[in-house]
Structure 1
């Protein structure tokens, strides 16, 4: 195996561990706060600390990436996540947990941003979509396995967190086996032009930056707002734990095929078709009534269609931007995801309060329809990279 492919597979294993960490800590801490009698509003605000951390650090991540390299940035992010995980069981104060979850968001964002950028750098153009889809699949598998860690709670308060710590140590050992690399240097330019780097990224790749926002909005809507929708429409909370994973399962099934297909026929065409399929699935979801199997089918279809949006958008940005600007696009994508993750619960809560619980699915459908229209309007030129580099 070449050193490049070895690095790729180490990053994939680390992402599985990071996904399992998030998949375990988000519901685990929600359950622990509920058992402490914390209100649902305070519980939700505490959960938002993770995404606040993501937003706070995202604009600055390109600095350490260029100064200390991919591996070092990942290691620092992993260290922050480990520290937060070890400290959480030592405290029961809500404010302290808020700060620790924010620290976890900072570390997690550093880890994911650096690993994503590293994968885009080492992936050959002919298999970039497939490799980024494998990355997304790895995170999805880890995230879906993470909630199983809640079952360790009866064995002891420390047990779930200790198991995560063991996984972090394994990640540190894996990363110690690969050599550090750095992103491609930005060519010297006048100060005004360097300040306009973000504007250039937006101008050339605005379509590629939308999927990260849409994915963040959909993921948070389903994880945070669907349980409320279920209770208000007469669905038992037990069924929620069965229905929700169908979205993740759907995304896992088609993650790699869609990435490989986008390598052959183009990212924009694949995202356009997936957006339409996802929009139809979400629009039809409220019509499923109390038919649980139909709900699972529709969410599975939606997940299969749009579950790879983040990786496809990042691959598309890599296609149309010069290599030196891809880290900037990655920062914008990370911020879009964080903004959407904070926005979704608030917008959905307002819609369910003043209108109709079903409106949260209609809105997701309309957002995907809007994106499909944007795909028709977006045009790339053969000189996009040269224009940006200039």
Structure 2
């Protein structure tokens, strides 16, 4: 895995408005599209049982893309690569309503995942290639806020624009084309790379195991939320406005917990923190078993969003905790790969649970989340205890 580890352009000269502006508009389009794909299946006479496969196809594309994007950026540069990946994603949006069959949609979502992996790598490297650690932290905060905020707004499109016919796909296409405008029209210098470094398979095997498992579980939960939750909510007889509010609540929960996680991660063990955020998800699922009240469900899904969105940043910081600075970017790409594996497998594993709607407290996706998050919390608690015992022994 080849990665960029340093640059020759100062942070002030690169600027962040272009990638942040493009990312924000992209996130709005992506947030809407994630809910639109499973909810529009019936409109195009595609069996809803393929929703899980469509989600997995997308995340398999994300996995593939995470391994092959860097050489493209090195050859094209950040600006051209960013526009190219956005246009590639836009082309897959055109395909969906024009070729309304299962195989075309599976292929389109696979390519869409590869394009989105490219967008993420371009923006992250554009923002985070900096000589100043404080600058990196600040830019990462801006990145997370733009991504989650845009995704939250995008979820509202389900209620405002709808999910039937060609109109929603035209809206997504317009947003993606708009996202290219800052990079095309504004002249801010993207970063320049001069050095590359690789992690061997032996080095990868030595990475923190709870961190890798945390990223895989994060992918399982997030892939299932984005791929199947809208469909599960629709099966529960909720209308599009309610579905959009509930999906937005999940992402808002994820946004809310980010500063809290940042402070807790320097106070307690990150392995223990992974256990605690997993238990938060278990608690959220438990709330859905107690009542079918809409407001309680919104609060429960917000808490589930906190749990799901906290797993990845905690896991990735745990992975980099004791690494030499030269290997940090390579480690983050391994974590993205692990996340993508979980994202690809999650919706497939959740497929059988989708047969029962969320309104039935005895089954549904909530059972799936309960099993995954409870098992994760138990593993992390054991790993944390073992780590503490080792520290005391030494």
Q: 1:83 to 1:267 in 2, by over 3 A?
A: farther
Q: 1:26 to 1:251 in 2, by over 3 A?
A: closer
Q: 1:177 offset after TM fit, Å? A: 1.9
Please state whether the residue corresponding to 1:290 is helix, strand or coil. Answer: coil
Superposed CA RMSD in Å reads: 3.7
Q: 1:104 to 1:288 in 2, by over 3 A?
A: same
Is the CA contact 2:220–2:345 (under 8 Å) kept in the aligned structure 1?
Answer: yes
Distance 1:221 1:280 in 2: 16
Give the aligned partner of residue 115 of structure 1: 123
Give the aligned partner of residue 380 of structure 2: 371
Give the aligned partner of residue 216 of structure 2: 213
Give the aligned partner of residue 335 of structure 1: 337
Number of aligned positions between the proteins = 368
Is the CA contact 2:52–2:350 (under 8 Å) kept in the aligned structure 1?
Answer: no
Q: 1:312 to 1:348 in 2, by over 3 A?
A: same
**Corresponding position: 1:137 with 2:145:** yes
Is the CA contact 1:70–1:182 (under 8 Å) kept in the aligned structure 2?
Answer: no
Is the CA contact 2:53–2:347 (under 8 Å) kept in the aligned structure 1?
Answer: no
191, 201, 220: which is aligned to 1:180?
191
Q: 1:203 offset after TM fit, Å? A: 1.0
Unaligned runs of 5+ in 1: 187-193, 382-390
Q: Scaled by the length of structure 1, what TM-score is found?
A: 0.78
Is the CA contact 1:279–1:364 (under 8 Å) kept in the aligned structure 2?
Answer: no
Give the aligned partner of residue 307 of structure 1: 309
Is the CA contact 2:66–2:117 (under 8 Å) kept in the aligned structure 1?
Answer: yes
Is the CA contact 1:133–1:312 (under 8 Å) kept in the aligned structure 2?
Answer: no
Q: 1:12 to 1:231 in 2, by over 3 A?
A: closer
Is the CA contact 2:46–2:101 (under 8 Å) kept in the aligned structure 1?
Answer: no
**Corresponding position: 1:170 with 2:172:** no
Give the aligned partner of residue 259 of structure 1: 262
**Corresponding position: 1:82 with 2:90:** yes
Q: 1:296 to 1:373 in 2, by over 3 A?
A: farther
Distance 2:230 2:128 in 1: 35
Further displaced range: 286-295 or 34-43: 286-295
Q: 1:17 offset after TM fit, Å? A: 2.4
Distance 1:93 1:267 in 2: 48
